[in-house]
Structure 1
Amino acid sequence: MTPASAAGILEQAAAHAGLDASTATPLRAGAHAIFELDGEIIARIGKPGSAGMARREVRISRWLNDSGIPAVQAVETLPQPIVVDDQPVTWWQLIPDHRPATPAELGTALAHLHTLTPPTTFDLPRYQPFTGLEERITTAATLNDDDRQWLAQHYATLRQRYEQLPPVTRTSVIHGDAWQGNLVVPRSGVPTFLDLDKVSLGRPEWDLVQLAVDHTDFTRIDTTDYEAFVTAYGGYDMTGTPEFRIYADIQELRWTAFAISLSHHNLTAQVQTAHRIAGIRGSIPKPWQWNAL
């Protein structure tokens, strides 16, 4: 999605919903394009072919809030989603004046989420950590042959190692992209989950690994904050488990593949892609410093 194409989709969807997009403010362009409209409405534009996922995200929002897990709320008075050129547009209530959650707040929220009984009126998908990775590697026009071959082999090795993990002993409702920016704290003081498109059933470690690698492999989470996260979650520290490194390596490949997916039209993403590949290939020592995209 280019900024121009996203703006065009938003304009058509807003007209269909009876909204004015002329003063819309772009907030983010990544896996989704996100805009703020007048009336404290957030528009979220999904990828082509993701209308079913968008419908499920709206249902998940209602279900989480009904289950006592505060989450961003869909605008119930607008049609959800509106599909333009095969791309779904959903409408959400703005959460004004919020801040990212602390690690401790995130640990507490995830502990509650992971004890939730799955919904009975619709099915949550199984979390698939490798979805889209192979395609992003093999089709990326910005990769040189050496990096492409190494990444393809790295992907195959990680997939084999993951499939050899011990059988799942605990499957939970998981957020699927759990970091402080996806749990925000508004003026009410109630931590609220955002970005619900990856909510699914899976190993709870997938909601713990992002802060774990932020602590072990980067400089983003210091020891005090990480220990507060572990304590708030209930004392489980996955960095001390034999399986931690496989989760960490897969997560870092996912972050690298996301940069790859943006690099064909974004020079900043191209530079970041090369930097991330150099890191996971061992050319740059840890702790790493990767810029957000």
Structure 2
Amino acid sequence: MTTALITHADCLTHVTPTGHPERVARLEHVLHALEPLDLRRVTAPLAAEDDLLRIHPAGYIADIRDARPDEGFTQIDGDTFLSPGSVDAAFRAAGAVVRAVDMVLGGEVQNAFCAIRPPGHHAERETAMGFCLFGNAALAAKHALDFHGLNRVAVVDFDVHHGNGTQDLLWDEARALLITSQQMPLWPGSGRPDEDGAHGQILNIPLAPGTGGAEMRAAYTAQAFPRLRAFKPELIIISAGFDAHQDDPLANLNWSTADFAWLTAELCTLAQELCQGRIVSTLEGGYDLNALAAATRAHVQELIKAAT
């Protein structure tokens, strides 16, 4: 079996204003870092509206389409912008995770990494925010549940910022376990342990500023991994944000590239134990270009090891 890399050039046409941290160069650095690796390279399709309707209402999808500028930028909130290419990029990002789920559950590949932007885990049901337009990880989960008929899917989000959007979109979904670690306090301010979902199926793991790899490993070993084993997911989805890296400019955790490799390897081991190794990972944050490239490469290398 192999690992799929799913991406599209349209994701490079989502342009943000000069100085914005979520910039085209992020994906360029990621793709360059992954270029030498042995991956099955797949072109991301555009998501169908029916796919997006699993997580967003039709009016919201129409509003995003209508906000696309002919030139320049449309500002959605303080840090979320649309350029002329942003809507196509967002539909490709959503299409990538749908294709990844189809390939993994169809047995075409063991696991998949979606190298996409804009990211998705801050997008709520009717609100774009935090650089995000559509909830990609939640969409992957709902597609696996509703289209493929799985009974249990887990989402693990290790981005440094809380995945408030994924939490919002999966709050009432008893079939989806969401495990998310995040620096606290930090924007967007959510992610307390008592935010545990309508069915107790959400586990928030707040990490204090300065938390390093040893503390992260202990927290995941004590809290996250037992919950995954108890839930017995049939697919694991990873919201792979790399902004907990010690070099990232937007936060204050102190993980190393080796820590991301360790966490990925542990999740791959659990996937082998629980769900035939089936993992879909999708790119979220990470804003130091060199750290992002190195950590993403380490993450994908562990996926490749698990697939061979």
TM over 0.5: no
Q: In terms of Rg, which structure is larger?
A: 1
Higher helix share: 1
User: Scaled by the length of structure 2, what TM-score is found?
Assistant: 0.28
TM-score by length of 1: 0.29
Higher RCO, 1 vs 2 (CA within 8 Å, ≥6 residues apart): 2
